[in-house]
Amino acid sequence: MERRSGRVYVVGHKNPDTDSICSAIAYAHLKKEITGREYVAKRAGQINEETQYVLRKFKVEAPRLLSNVKLQVKDMDIHKAKGVEPNVSIKDTWELMKKDGVKTIPVLKEGELVGVISTGDIAKSYMDVYDSTILAEARTQYKNIVETLDGTLVCGNEHGYFVKGKVTIGASSPEMMEEFIRKDDLVILGNRYESQACAVDIDASCIVLCQNAEVPEELLTKAEEQSIVIIKTPYDTFTAARLINQSVPVRYFMSTEPLVTFHMNDYVEDIKEIMTKKKFRDFPILDRHGNFKGFISRRRFMSVSKKRVILVDHNEKSQAVDGIEEAEIMEIIDHHRLGSIETMGPVFFRNQPVGCTATIIYQMYQEAGVEITPTIAGLLCSAIISDTLLFRSPTCTAVDEAAAEALAEIADIQLEDMAAGMFNAGSNLKGKSAEEICFQDFKQFTVGDKIFGVGQINSMSKEELQEVRKKLEPYLEKAMKEHGLDMIYLMLTDILDESSELLCQGHGARETIIDAFDLPEDTEHMVLKGVVSRKKQLIPALVGALQQ
């Protein structure tokens, strides 16, 4: 059985920045070290160039994408079931069911699901079948008949198929046998020479000799010349006749199209109604290649547990991975204003007024007494450099600076050199579309009935920022409409000059900025001196103006 309930995802916000990614990796590592359980770092969007530079620098793989945390079939307990080939006998299938304690078995051909057989189907094969031609209709292999009767092959090709005729018992006199036995029939016999000779003369396809009866040499030679299959069984005539239908291949009684199957990536919410309407006990699960993976049952469906997540560097629902309302939030580690995330129960929530989530993670390593490796130190230090713009941002505190210096020593890096490499990598916007630039570091907020988004582009080059402005100004209206925003803002932040030019779009967007920063009404280019922090300088001012 496949259980995933122990796994916890550690994930940052959409359009992740360096802090979001590095804090997720470092905190997942810390939780694993403390608990010994499975914590997996994930990302909720594409990684930007600055973060890629950091990950390459410290030889760390990027976390895999977590597009949403809605419950999927793969999050359920999937019962692994051994399959049988279509030609396997009903008897062998039943033995496997008893051994594994299951009521449904998949019928697989080279890993592909071709049908399912249940205990009900097998019961039907006993109770509802009165047709003596069923072995032929089902194209039963002689090998199946030998195995089902615990017999031995005397002559003939066991790999051949019984495809024509009926099953009969030759208990009558030869004269009467000639009346009801036809060429190509399967005849169950005892040790009477006359009956055996009659069956050979009639040219039966197969002769079953009960109680291991012997066949005379001259009859055996004749049978071989006529390609008659002769099988000896230790059972008496009654038992052999009762068992022989169990040699029918499972494909004859299995349920086939239309099978109700689900895929590993199907969402539980989407399949709930189908499972409710269909009265099957078990539902087959396929992977994306169509290969059988196991069954889910109604009972397992009812007991499915939610995906468990830890959120880092955000606590706004609009910034969280899609489907967060269906997940179980275990913890939130953040350094932003309190947002709109709601939880079903109490959670561990750590929020500190520092410049970077990585600073908080660093403190938690110290508090837990867990050694910080050079790699983890490099990631955390890079996150602090990024979020504080190497201590230039007003969000930066003495705690951030002290943490960065301590981490830089562990990682054996120079803060200024690391910052220069990161900012140069992050400000390389050549070849990017307006959409890619706009949403590479973008966050969405809700104030009252207003939904607005704020993106930020950091660069060490004034010329590059001017090029970005020319590219983005015509795109803002489209971006706003496609994302369902009332207003959109873009901060073009000059790291060296410690200022930001603000682009905006939407009804009242410009007026809100003018009110928030007390700018002249005729301001053409809204350049905000000293404003480099979205979190501490721009968002509080915008929220205050909107709330008025």
Domains located in the chain, CATH noted? 8-71+307-426 (3.90.1640.10), 90-252 (3.40.1390.20), 434-547 (3.10.310.20)
Whether the bond between 63 and the residue before it is cis, its omega within 30 degrees of 0, is no
Of 330, 403, 345, 483, nearest in space to 7 by CA: 330
In percent, how much of the chain has pLDDT > 90? 59
Residue spans of alpha helices (H) in 278-313: 298-302
Phi, psi of 72 (to 5 degrees): -120, 165
Tell me, what amino acid is at 215?
V
> Is residue 358's pLDDT more than 50?
yes
Note whether 422 and 393 are within 8 A (CB).
Answer: no
Token digits of residue 135? 């072995």
What is the rounded distance in angstroms from the CA atom of residue 33 to the CA atom of residue 48?
28
> Mean pLDDT, to the nearest integer, of 423-443?
85
DSSP 8-state assignment for residue 538: I
> Is residue 384's pLDDT more than 50?
yes
pLDDT tier for residue 352 given thresholds of 50, 70 and 90 = very high
- Burial letters 485-494, b for 16+ CB under 10 A, else e: bbbbbbbbbb
pLDDT tier for residue 303 given thresholds of 50, 70 and 90 = low
Note whether 149 and 91 are within 8 A (CB).
Answer: no
The angle at the Cα of 69, spanning 66 to 70, to the nearest 5 degrees, equals 135
> Mean pLDDT, to the nearest integer, of 51-72?
93
Predicted TM-score (pTM) of the model is 0.62
CA-to-CA dists, residue 214 to 93, 201, 206, angstroms: 31, 18, 15
Tell me, what amino acid is at 420?
A
In a 13 Å sphere around the CA of 399, the CA atoms on its Cβ side amount to 14
Token digits of residue 459? 């660069």
Tell me, what amino acid is at 398?
A
Of 536, 540, 543, nearest in space to 395 by CA: 536
Largest CA-CA distance found in the chain, in angstroms, rounded = 119
Rg over alpha carbons for the chain, rounded to the nearest Å, is 37
What is the rounded distance in angstroms from the CA atom of residue 231 to the CA atom of residue 155?
7
Given the structure tokens 């939904």, which residue do they identify?
451
Token digits of residue 338? 């309190």
Q: At what angle do helices 374-388 and 398-411 cross, to 10 degrees?
A: 140
Q: pLDDT, tens digit, for every residue of 95-136?
A: 998 988 888 889 998 888 888 888 888 887 776 666 788 899
| Strand pairing category for 161-162 and 140-141 | antiparallel
Q: What's the pLDDT at 211?
A: 95
**CA 515 distance to own-chain centroid:** 48
What is the rounded distance in angstroms from the CA atom of residue 381 to the CA atom of residue 379?
6
Of 89, 223, 227, nearest in space to 151 by CA: 89
Tell me, what amino acid is at 545?
A
Residues in the chain: 548
* Average pLDDT of every residue of the chain: 90
SS3 296: strand
Q: pLDDT, tens digit, for every residue of 236-294?
A: 999 999 899 899 999 888 887 778 888 888 888 788 777 777 777 788 888 888 888 88
pLDDT tier for residue 416 given thresholds of 50, 70 and 90 = very high
pLDDT tier for residue 213 given thresholds of 50, 70 and 90 = very high
